[in-house]
Chain A
Amino acid sequence: MSETLALSWRQYRLERRLFWRNPSAAFFNFVLPLLFLAAGGAILSGNQTDLNKLIPSIAGMSVMSTTFTALAYNIVFLRERGVLKRIRGAPMPTISYFGGVAGNAVTNTALQIAIIVVCGRAFFGIGWPPHWGTLIVFVLVGVVSLAALGVAFAHAIPNFESTAAYVNAIFLPVVFVSFYVFDSTGAPEFLRTIADALPLKPLIDGLSGAMVAGHPFSDNLDALAVIALWGAFGLYFAIRGFSWEGKRK
């Protein structure tokens, strides 16, 4: 057991080191949500009602990009390049490998949420989150669910060249619908239904409750249930369909 953990830690440290060496991944998975935060914050500056909505929205988007997007990209790349196959043949327990990979995603999410919280307090007048516990619960459940969905979605992507198209075909519409419905009181009913059934809008609801309104998570149990259901769905397909090799030959 201790050896499994030690190897997990080594894998985690390798993932951390390699993450920052890849500038485009670091930009898309890490810097981009923060740029949205800066740009949105500048545009909405002085309008506290809108800022109160912007901050949790960006936080939700960050969770999605550091987990779903990053893992879908990574898994497809490593699979198609034959790295996963090599890892599969090495005497490292599978759980150690995924422990390291998941730890890397969690670290990125935690860093982003921390930056967003600090910026919210320092520049956007929303103060410290009134409900830290709720924040942690929603971020954790969101990370697990969206990470599992990212791994599961990687199975549907046939080759690395088309990864950006596949990922954005999911990421962008989900972000738009969720942001729009969360922000607008006049969103049409069918859009509202769709957004509430997807994982991002419930995540933003929960984060908003924790960061702005100060609701305990018991107030957003149905939102938590939706995210967890997506997580169960994602985990099932992430494990069931996992492929260590590209589909050549």
Chain B
Amino acid sequence: MNETGPAIEVSALCKRYGDYEAVRSIDIAVNRGEVFGLLGPNGAGKTTTVEILEGYRSRTSGEVSVLGYDPAERSLELRRRIGVVLQSGGIYSHITPREALRHWASFYPHPRQVDEVLELAGLQEKADVRSRKLSGGQLRRLDFALALIGDPELIFLDEPTTGFDPEARRAAWETIRSLRDLGKTILLTTHYLEEAQTLADRVAIVKDGRILAIGAPRELGVGAAHYRVAWRDSSGDLIERETEDPTALLHELTGQALERGEQLQELSVERPTLEDVYLELTADV
């Protein structure tokens, strides 16, 4: 089944709940081996989109293909090839991570070694502790471990680091990077810009069920807005100018300053970051 095409292909995907349109005609193609980020504020439709791809929700209309399968058919073959980290998935209170991984491993034809996955998720020391005694961060690591035990080729991560402290977030990023290095395809949702910028090869900015921009994090920053040149004039006021052509503007500014015998204090030229683009696109104006 379609082993060479994109890992995920979505076109004109719509999801309606009664009168509410959670997803309004989304198009995405995620290549194999790519880390693709869906970035957007809460309620943007990220989770709805991902849960349609995972087979949890039906779609109202549109075409969806995941590894060549229609996820709405919920075939066992597809579920054996994907790993899912849900935004809020739970586990039995009285099971240990090792037992849970052993049990989940039995669902897959070629699972990874339990010890190896415990190590990858950083759970070796908690492997035999019942889950009710694990911290939130440790349970999240167990989510990762359970998603990886079947050695999936495509991994869905729905807000994988929400609620993490900075240290735990860095550790999770390391894990995600190591998955990318193994050649896995990853679809990640997040409302943290830094996370999308750090991890994703390409990002789609989503709001109100629509994609507002799509591209590599760098390109998104460069392509969409102006350069900002700022300095302090002789009376100490901060002045900002936006330009498409910073070379010409700087030439003009520095020339004038030299003529007047002044300095351009605190002169800076800033390229718009993904954050600027994101804030501009998602602003409620």
Contact = CB atoms under 8 A, between A and B. Distances in A.
B198 interface: no
Contacts of B91: 81, 83, 86
Contacts of B150: 91
Given A86-B86, A86-B89, A91-B107, A18 B56 contact: no
B86 A85 contact: yes
B146 interface: yes
A10 interface: yes
Contact of A89 (B79, B95, B103): B79
A90 interface: yes
Given A7-B107, A86-B146, A18 B94 contact: yes
A21 B130 CA distance: 10
A83 B90 contact: yes
B88 to A, nearest CB: 5
Interface in A181-217: none
A121 interface: no
Nearest to B87: A82
A22 B108 CA distance: 28
B89 A7 contact: no
A10 B107 CA distance: 10
A245 B92 CA distance: 15
A77 B106 CA distance: 24
Contacts, number: 59
The secondary-structure label for the interface of chain A is helix
Interface string B58-101: 00000000000000000010011000101011111111000100
A11 B106 CA distance: 10
Contact of A91 (B54, B76, B86, B146): B76
A230 B67 CA distance: 44
Contacts of B56: 85, 88-89, 245
B55 interface: yes
Given A18-B95, A91-B76, A86 B90 contact: yes
Contacts of B106: 7, 10
Given A22-B94, A83-B92, A85-B56, A92 B86 contact: no
8 contacts: A18-B94, A21-B94, A82-B86, A83-B92, A85-B86, A89-B54, A90-B107, A91-B108
Given A10-B106, A92-B107, A245-B56, 13 more contacts: A18-B94, A81-B90, A81-B91, A81-B93, A82-B90, A83-B91, A83-B92, A85-B86, A85-B89, A86-B86, A90-B104, A91-B107, A91-B108
Interface of B: 54-56, 76, 79-80, 84, 86, 88-95, 99, 103-104, 106-108, 130, 146, 150
Interface of A: 7, 10-11, 14, 17-18, 21-22, 78, 81-83, 85-86, 88-93, 245
3 tightest A-B CB contacts, nearest first? A82-B90, A81-B90, A21-B94
